[in-house]
Chain A
Amino acid sequence: MARAVAATPAPVVVQPESVRRRPSLQLRAYPQLVIGSAVLMILLLGAGLGPLLVPYGPTDTDFSAALRGPSWAHVLGTDQLGRDSLSRALAGARLSMLVAAGAVVLGLAGGVPLGMISAMRRGWLSDLIMRVMDGILAFPGLILAMAIAFVLGPSVVTVIVALAVVRLPSVARVIRAQASGLGQSDYIESARSVGASPTRIAVVHVLPNVSSTILVLASLGAGAAIFTEASLSFLGAGVPPPTATWGGMLHDAYPYLEKNPWQTFVPGVCIFLAVLACNFIGDGLRDFLDPKERTRRRG
């Protein structure tokens, strides 16, 4: 890029007006990003303020008011043990966000260095890393997560670990592909020629250039984590009861689908909105950060 500019010197035109107008224009051009962020903010707000909004705890039972529909006392009704559904849905939001954040951070903390190492140090180590990643990727993700949670004994922490491991190969592969491309570029070559150490090149030169990819991976990963956590809890292989999880609520409510469908829809809508919000933000970010890709994909 720098060379291209030097070869064809063009007059620098400063357009302060267009620069000032850019942000608002851009946001309107990326509705997915706006809608996704708005939904996620509402869910986060609900998760954070949950205990202040509802007078019942997520595990308080009241058998005299079991399996009720919405009422003024219980805005979203109650489950088969008389627990308040709104309170459980908000507690479930807290847990989903916690698990998603944990799995994303852990997956990136493992996957980004692995991908960068395998891109920058060609040789047996790189081969070993990628063969193991291929191996993990061959497992059906949900089944691997079930097995890991089973072996470690299901809890919030083990579910986070399981989801992070499942996510690891995708992160490592994408980062490896990006970092390999960067390795050919002139500025990495210059850095190497002035004697920068591989660690310095990785942290100072490569990492900032893959940061937008990391951002996209993080939001898509959060969606995948919420999706898989809900599947695990629905199958009874995730965070054990009585902790409120969306998947667990669905598992409890499903046998009463005919009698009280309302109890199934509450966690169902929560899961759908949360996953949709994360996918929207991921897709929106990708378009936002790489407009070229956007025009190509939309034809």
Chain B
Amino acid sequence: MTGYIVQRFLQLLLLLLVVSLLTFILMRGLLGDPILLILGPDASVDQATIGRMRHELGFDQPLPVQYLDWLEHAATGDFGRSLRTPLSVHDALLSRLPVTLELSIEALTLALLLAVPVGVLAALHPGSRLDVALSALSVTTLSLPNFLLGILLIFVFAVHLRWLPSAGYVPVIQDTGQHFRDMILPVITLAAAYAGSFARFARSRMLDVLSEDYLRTARAKGLPHWLVLRRHAGRNALIPLVTLVGVEMAGLFGGAVVTETVFSLPGVGQLLTDSILGRDLPTVQAIVLFLTVAVVVTSFVVDLAHGMLDPRVRVARG
């Protein structure tokens, strides 16, 4: 196990380096002049001011120096000053983070809670009404962009039926009841696509496992049906679901950006959209790096968990 962890950790470091380099190349290297991007196409500013801004923001240094400087600061959480607000990028990001985390975790939990029983039941009764409904529903949710689903939910439950609010946010520790009332629609919006794909995955894994020899053995030695399902089929079928969760993390954060915009939730995604519209380069760069690092680190943790749950994984790869 130690060898496996060390090997995965080195891969993590390499990937983090590649990601930071790509982010830097994208945000600085691709631009002719970052100052012109910040000012926008319509700005009329004299050369002296541009020169002073360039010096203040460190854009007059050679690119490798800029990269190392930026990486050094970013590693300690210092992303510089926002160009749009008096806040530092670090503080702005930190104040928005809880919303995005709550939204993502709640959506992931809901998706798994829905997907696992439905997927397993569909696998136990292939061709049943539930099975057909599951495949139809998962095709639909995969083709329904989440902003569309969000608007649809708002129309039905907030505008038409007036059961739930269409926007609003209270931290979960401040008022749990109100928090969940506000979050029901956003969480369903974000969870829908993943519930579909998780359920499909659970179904196909379960079907594979049900035809295994060791399951027949378990039945043959007289174990009750539920015990065979729980101990022998369920465990083997559902552990790989952990890896799928890791794979979907990137999509989940991307989806959170859109969901926050639809429901006006003050999260990182909304900050990103606002910063892009406000041409706030340091904030955009910081958010892109931060969310990607979050994805990379989460899949690292997920891989470790998978190795811990399934010894075959760490033997095969480690």
Contacts and interface: CB of A to CB of B under 8 A. Distances in A.
Contacts of A248: none
Specify the main secondary structure of chain B where it touches its partner.
helix
Interface in B110-130: 123, 126
A142 B254 contact: yes
Interface string B174-212: 000000000000000000000000000000100100000
B144 interface: yes
B272 interface: yes
Interface in A276-294: 276, 279-280, 283
A130 B91 CA distance: 35
Interface stretch (B44-52, B59-67, B151-159, B224-232): B151-159
B19 A142 contact: no
A16 interface: no
Interface in A212-243: 223, 227, 230-231, 234-237
B173 to A, nearest CB: 27
B18 A135 contact: yes
B250 A147 contact: no
B151 A279 contact: no
Contacts of A142: 254-255, 257-258
Chain A interface residue number, banded = 35 or more
Interface stretch (A59-67, A77-85, A250-258): A250-258
Nearest to B31: A151
A96 interface: no
Nearest to B211: A299
A231 B26 CA distance: 21
A261 interface: yes
A69 interface: no
A151 B257 contact: no
Interface range for B:
35 or more
A264 interface: yes
A236 B253 contact: no
Contact of A140 (B142, B151, B277, B295): B295
B261 A235 contact: yes
A275 B144 CA distance: 8
Contact of B143 (A257, A264, A275): A275
Given A139-B295, A143-B272, A279-B143, 20 more contacts: A131-B18, A132-B18, A136-B22, A139-B22, A139-B292, A140-B250, A140-B257, A141-B251, A141-B254, A142-B254, A143-B287, A151-B30, A250-B151, A254-B151, A258-B159, A261-B155, A272-B144, A279-B142, A280-B139, A297-B204
22 contacts: A131-B15, A139-B295, A141-B254, A143-B253, A143-B292, A146-B273, A146-B276, A153-B41, A230-B145, A231-B258, A234-B147, A235-B257, A237-B277, A250-B147, A264-B155, A268-B152, A271-B148, A272-B144, A275-B144, A275-B145, A279-B143, A299-B207
Interface of A: 131-132, 134-144, 146-148, 150-153, 223, 227, 230-231, 234-237, 250, 254, 257-258, 261, 264, 268, 271-272, 275-276, 279-280, 283, 297, 299
